[in-house]
Structure 1
Amino acid sequence: MQDDSKKTAEVSVDMEFRASQQLQLINEQESYIQSRADTMQNIESTIVELGSIFQQLAHMVKEQEETVQRIDAHVGDSQLNVDMAHSEIFMYFQSV
């Protein structure tokens, strides 16, 4: 009978040890899952912030569009004036 009670006690201790290990594993998994969830929330907030920055940048570029178009038109006008001046100088040298 003593052998039966020893085996029962060993099985009981073994079962308690395994249950303890499983609880510890579950706690570690929950901690890992919570850590992943926190990381995902940080990534999401960073993406939202980047989206806002890109929207602001797009707005700034749109505001500069007219200025860039005017500069481009002025450069074209300047090129035309330089070409005309070059032709006038060339005609003057031919006449001299």
Structure 2
Amino acid sequence: MRVKIVEQVIYINKDDVPQYKKGGSVVRNSYFWALRSIACQARRDRDWEYESEVWFALERMLISFAESGYLSTSETILEFPTDAEIPPVLRNISTWQEI
């Protein structure tokens, strides 16, 4: 998931956030609700926002869903711009975007 940090808030690109689908996969829908529950803003037409206070929970959640084996790596890894510094708390679940 492509992300950026602005003033200690992580923004997940709106095109990369999980989608809720009525009658869809239980794991994917649980993932949607879990990520949405800790977001400070999670609107359908905007990037989702995560304040620094929840970054530890975000990391734990992403690791947990990644280890489940039901979601692809691209759905559970935070991809930072190549010139961005990855916060230490998120290094286990982050990488830089490929150019």
Q: TM-score range by the shorter chain?
A: under 0.3
More helix by share: 1
More strand by share: 2
TM-score normalized by the length of structure 1: 0.19
TM-score normalized by the length of structure 2: 0.19
